[in-house]
Amino acid sequence: MAPLIITAALTGAELTRHQHPRLPITPEEIGLAAAQCAEAGASIVHVHARWPDGSPTQSAEVYAQIIEAVQQRCDVIVQVSTGGAVGMTPAERLAPVYLRPEMATLSMGSVNFGRGVFTNLPDDIEHFAREMVRLGVKPELEVFDAGMLATAKRYIAQGLLPATAHIDFALGVPGGMPGTPQALQYLVAEVPANTTWSVAGIGAAQLPLSALAIVLGGHVRVGLEDNLCYRKGELARDNAQLVERVARLARELERPIASPTEARRILGLLFSANEVVSKAPT
Ligand code: KMH
Ligand code: ZN
């Protein structure tokens, strides 16, 4: 089996310090959390930006500060969110992609989210996809429901998305597919050839789905964005504690853990010298 890529979803858009006192909010805090997660075995950090008061933003300037704060401290792949927060405009959400990060999320459809709707219209998904391909940013296809996997497969078949896609199954959002082993196994059986996948179990689903992904040969996303607790009734110490547990499980199950370089190789992010030149910001 390929080494396990662990993604740390550090902050999210909706959570507050009232819910978790160690939720990283500022670029500095996010950089520190990334370094702790990298030390624990994460090779990707999924990041959201916040204004200093904690409210969500897709400001490219704040994302640039986050990327710099992470890269000063460690070598992990930075994956920016284009999901942002419910209610943001598509143009707002796409802004950090123009920084040409290594990866960005790309949601494959709309889903009820909290009391609102996380809206992803076909025209917007297709525009986001074309921009990411044009800018050399690897999309991670966010799948909250089975129909979204069918959409991803359609875009791959049409050539809008590369066949070497990376899919993240975000399971357990109320309104989306449940965070059960049965749901994950159904989805995994439908994953197209050449495609890698990870799972982000929401809330209590995080631990069992992580264990299942390790044995099924998938990859794992954990972190406070998806789950605030280490176990029922006990807040996680921080993001790194959640990464440490997955790394420990993987070691027990004899699945090696990917370094950032190995993760880049698995995800096809390593470019030849010529391609690096063509990827340089213009
Ligand atoms: N905050 C959610 C509405 C992503 O990062 O791409 C969307 C989200 C997905 O978090
Ligand atoms: Zn996110």
pLDDT of residue 275: 52
Q: What is the best residue among 97, 107, 224 to mutate for testing ligand 1's pocket, by most ligand atoms within 8 Å of CB?
A: 107
Task: Give distance in angstroms: CA of 130 to centre of ligand 2.
Answer: 20
pLDDT of residue 114: 86
CA 237 to CA 45: how far, in whole Å? 18
pLDDT of residue 271: 67
CA 211 to CA 97: how far, in whole Å? 32
Q: Where are the alpha helices (DSSP H) in the chain?
A: 27-40, 60-73, 90-94, 122-135, 146-158, 181-189, 206-216, 239-252, 260-267, 273-279
Packing angle of the helix pair 146-158, 122-135 (nearest 10 deg): 50
Q: What is the best residue among 16, 44, 66, 81 to mutate for testing ligand 1's pocket, by most ligand atoms within 8 Å of CB?
A: 81
Task: Give distance in angstroms: CA of 269 to centre of ligand 2.
Answer: 20
Residue entry with tokens 């982000």: 200
- Helix (H, G, I), strand (E, B), or coil: what is residue 212? helix
Ranges of the chain whose pLDDT falls below 50: 273-274, 276-278, 280-282
Torsion, Cα of 180, 182, 183, 187 (10° steps): 140
CA 106 to CA 95: how far, in whole Å? 13
For residue 118, which atom of ligand 1 is closest to its CA? 3
Q: Whole-prediction pTM value? A: 0.96
Torsion, Cα of 270, 50, 82, 208 (10° steps): 80
- Does ligand 1 lie within 6 Å of residue 85's CB atom? yes
